[in-house]
A and B are shown apart, each in its own frame.
Chain A
Amino acid sequence: MLTIEDLYVKVGGKEILKGINLHIDEGENYILFGPNGSGKTTLLMTLMGFDGYDVVQGRIIFKGEDITHIPPFERARLGIGMSFQRPPTIQGLKTRDMVRLCAGDKEVDVDQLAQEVNFTGLLERDINAGFSGGEIKRSELLQLMAQRPSLVLFDEPESGVDLENMSLIGRITRSILDGPLEPRNGVSMKELKSIHQISGLIITHTGYILDYINADRGTVLYEGVLCCIARPRDILEHISKYGYKECVRCLS
């Protein structure tokens, strides 16, 4: 699905990512750990193709296509979706209309989707205007549900979310990644899973999201370099016990 080859990225002239290599298979959920300032968000922003994230070396291949230098909307149309940490307010653009925009040419039942993330009451509000932390997360998920990307980039799905919202957000995140979890008439769950091949690259600090989703592999980003590819639970356990200093040792 996604291959990152020897990626170097500068932000404001400063090198942030220093030779990233990463491969994510179809349907695979990948967890990205790392201390603040290690370059996690930079990696996501670079994958989405935003201004100010200058790829100075390396390539990004998505579904076999080199997307290193194409604009964000083309990446979105190819199937990359991103949940923003601090999305901007757009005055006069109702959340309902935003969700419809996300769907592109696809038919979408905005009210039905909004019900699933408990967002019905906020559909007529301008997008992100005065949204709380939990509301931003739910709104981002709602937009992704309409967009239906094949690779989802999540920047800390659990940050700023209270416990009550966490289970809802966890559940919805899982359904976006794994598809509908119940067997339907004429289609077995196995078949469903095989047609619903959504991959995810998820940044987490706390690991709470691991209680809800099936994460296949995890990796640590430390000072712009990836290290320690392992099972996410193991990495989390290790970091909570020893912090990131082991990464330094591992790299040196």
Chain B
Amino acid sequence: MSQLKESGKKRVDLGKYSFDNGEQPGIKDLRQLSEEDRRQLTMAGMDISETQRSGSYLHVNHSKVHCKATQKGVEVLDIKEALDKYDGLPEYYWQAVDKDKDEFTRAAAEKIHGGYFIRTSKGAKIKHPVQSCLFIKGENVGQNVHNIIIVEEDSELHVITGCTTSSNVVSALHLGISEFYIKKGGSLTFTMVHNWGREIMVRPRTVCIVEEDGVFVNNYVMMMPVSSLQSYPAVFLNGRGATGRFHSILVAPEGSHIDSGNKIVLNAPDTRGEIIARTITTGGTIIAPALIEGNAVPAKGHLECKGLILSKGIIHAIPELKGTVSGVELSHEAAVGKIAQQEIEYLMARGLDEEQATSTIVRGFMNVDIMGLPPELKASIDKTIEETEKDMF
């Protein structure tokens, strides 16, 4: 373990960051933002025109600046307004995430800046995704957000959330608490794009609770540099027939320390869980823990961790399976290595030079098709891949 520490684990000094006076004026339309900010938001998956979205939420530094829902059947509020409106949301607020888990949850509980509250109506199928962006503009800003998503019975929702900083921010800290509740027969696809910066520290804490026949799909894309990120979202499949899936694509350039894992707990019969993580380092460190725990039968879980070390860097895949009853079916495959020479030669035999072949294979490895994203988000992710690729070889 001593070697792990040497590999660049960075401690967060909460005292360094400012958690006050970062309130920003609200805007009616995302097009009012500066061109530069719009570019950052677009890269993080925001549709500025909002035409292909059922709602939007934008949080800058310490306050909400834009929040609206455009489709019937879905409510989008700032968390502070939601807490006022719904008497403190006693069934949901700090009910999935433990307030005393660590110093970051305690800091987030102490002072809340905002965050989104998204709730569907029973049976509502929300056609377009609801989008959110948690944006940091300013030096040494410490941002505390608390997000709650409630997917009511038999309703469907896709939330796209991007977290990013304006291009001139050097140092900042983002603490994000997210609590998701999926009711009977509900379905939530949650897609998160992280575009941080070289000196940004990130500590999200996420828990999702899924009832009978509910579906939770979590897509996570993080390709840009970050100083240090540590997160371990967990989903508890508490109802019969519930499904949970995590798909992550992580890239760690030199200087990035990413500790990003997933946990699925199969607590009811007929539940299924799947974790797929693809990680690439070009000099940074990635720790990728993954745990599937089976506490009921029949239940199935599979996890797949694949890591590519392109030139240098560290990938530490930690797949874990825990079964507590007889009859659970849990499996995993993990691989850390380099691109297979055979694959490169196959492409070279078709006329691609070595660099083109390598890049084609890496692009395939980072392919997000499985996530089923809307085309403009996929296009923006492809653009990010293109940009990160420049630094890869």
A residues whose Cβ falls under 8 Å from a Cβ of B: 48, 50-51, 71-73, 76-77, 81-82, 84, 87-88, 90-93, 98, 101-102, 104, 126, 143, 147
The minimal Cβ–Cβ distance linking A173 to chain B, given in whole angstroms, is 18
Q: Are B351 and A104 in contact (CB-based, < 8 A)? A: yes
The minimal Cβ–Cβ distance linking B184 to chain A, given in whole angstroms, is 34
Contacts of A147 in B (CB 8 A): 350-351
The minimal Cβ–Cβ distance linking A100 to chain B, given in whole angstroms, is 10
Q: Is B342 part of the contact surface with A, judged by Cβ < 8 Å?
A: yes
Known: A88-B340, A92-B365, A93-B360. Contact between A51 and B345, CB under 8 A? Answer: yes
- Complex CA distance for A241 and B346, rounded to whole angstroms: 37
Q: Which of A76, A90, A92 is B349 in contact with, Cβ under 8 Å?
A: A76
Q: Which of A51, A77, A88, A104 is B346 in contact with, Cβ under 8 Å?
A: A88
- Complex CA distance for A82 and B340, rounded to whole angstroms: 19
Task: Say whether chain B's binding surface is mostly helix, strand, loop, or mixed.
Answer: helix
Contact with A along B345-380 (1 / 0, CB 8 A): 111111111100100110111110100000000000
Contacts of A90 in B (CB 8 A): 343, 346-347, 360-361, 364
Contacts of A81 in B (CB 8 A): 349
Known: A93-B364, A126-B364. Contact between A88 and B351, CB under 8 A? Answer: no
Q: Which of B346, B351, B366, B367 has the most CB of A within 10 A?
A: B351
Q: Is B341 part of the contact surface with A, judged by Cβ < 8 Å?
A: yes
- Complex CA distance for A50 and B341, rounded to whole angstroms: 10
Q: Are B351 and A91 in contact (CB-based, < 8 A)? A: no
- Complex CA distance for A82 and B350, rounded to whole angstroms: 8
Additional 5 contacts, C-beta under 8 A, given A71-B353, A84-B349: A73-B350, A76-B350, A91-B367, A92-B363, A102-B350
Q: Are B349 and A82 in contact (CB-based, < 8 A)? A: yes
Q: Which of A71, A84, A88 is B348 in contact with, Cβ under 8 Å?
A: A71
- Complex CA distance for A92 and B347, rounded to whole angstroms: 14
The minimal Cβ–Cβ distance linking A46 to chain B, given in whole angstroms, is 13
* Interface residues on chain B, size class: 20 to 34
Known: A88-B343, A90-B343. Contact between A72 and B364, CB under 8 A? Answer: no
- Complex CA distance for A187 and B106, rounded to whole angstroms: 82
Q: Are B348 and A101 in contact (CB-based, < 8 A)? A: no
Contacts of B340 in A (CB 8 A): 88
The minimal Cβ–Cβ distance linking A83 to chain B, given in whole angstroms, is 10
The minimal Cβ–Cβ distance linking B363 to chain A, given in whole angstroms, is 7
Counting from the closest, the 4 A-B pairs by CB-CB distance are A92-B367, A92-B364, A93-B364, A76-B351
- Complex CA distance for A81 and B350, rounded to whole angstroms: 7
- Complex CA distance for A166 and B352, rounded to whole angstroms: 30
Contacts of B346 in A (CB 8 A): 84, 87-88, 90
The minimal Cβ–Cβ distance linking A67 to chain B, given in whole angstroms, is 13
The minimal Cβ–Cβ distance linking B78 to chain A, given in whole angstroms, is 38
The minimal Cβ–Cβ distance linking A238 to chain B, given in whole angstroms, is 33
Q: Are A73 and B351 in contact (CB-based, < 8 A)? A: yes
- Complex CA distance for A72 and B357, rounded to whole angstroms: 12
Residue of B nearest to A147 (CB): B350
Q: Are A93 and B361 in contact (CB-based, < 8 A)? A: yes
Contacts of B343 in A (CB 8 A): 88, 90
Known: A71-B354, A73-B354. Contact between A91 and B365, CB under 8 A? Answer: yes
- Complex CA distance for A91 and B370, rounded to whole angstroms: 11
Known: A90-B364, A91-B365, A92-B365. Contact between A101 and B352, CB under 8 A? Answer: yes
The minimal Cβ–Cβ distance linking B351 to chain A, given in whole angstroms, is 4
Q: Which of A73, A98, A102, A143 is B353 in contact with, Cβ under 8 Å?
A: A73
Contacts of B345 in A (CB 8 A): 50-51, 72
The minimal Cβ–Cβ distance linking B380 to chain A, given in whole angstroms, is 18
Contact with A along B331-348 (1 / 0, CB 8 A): 000000000111101111
Residue of A nearest to B370 (CB): A92
Contacts of B364 in A (CB 8 A): 90-93, 126
Question: What are 28 inter-chain pairs, A to B, with CB distance below 8 A?
Answer: A50-B349, A51-B341, A71-B354, A73-B349, A73-B350, A73-B351, A73-B352, A73-B357, A76-B349, A76-B351, A77-B351, A81-B349, A82-B349, A84-B346, A88-B340, A88-B342, A88-B346, A90-B361, A90-B364, A91-B367, A92-B364, A92-B365, A92-B366, A92-B367, A98-B350, A101-B350, A101-B360, A102-B350
The minimal Cβ–Cβ distance linking A210 to chain B, given in whole angstroms, is 25
Contacts of B369 in A (CB 8 A): 92
- Complex CA distance for A48 and B340, rounded to whole angstroms: 18
Contacts of A101 in B (CB 8 A): 347, 350-352, 360
Contacts of A76 in B (CB 8 A): 348-351
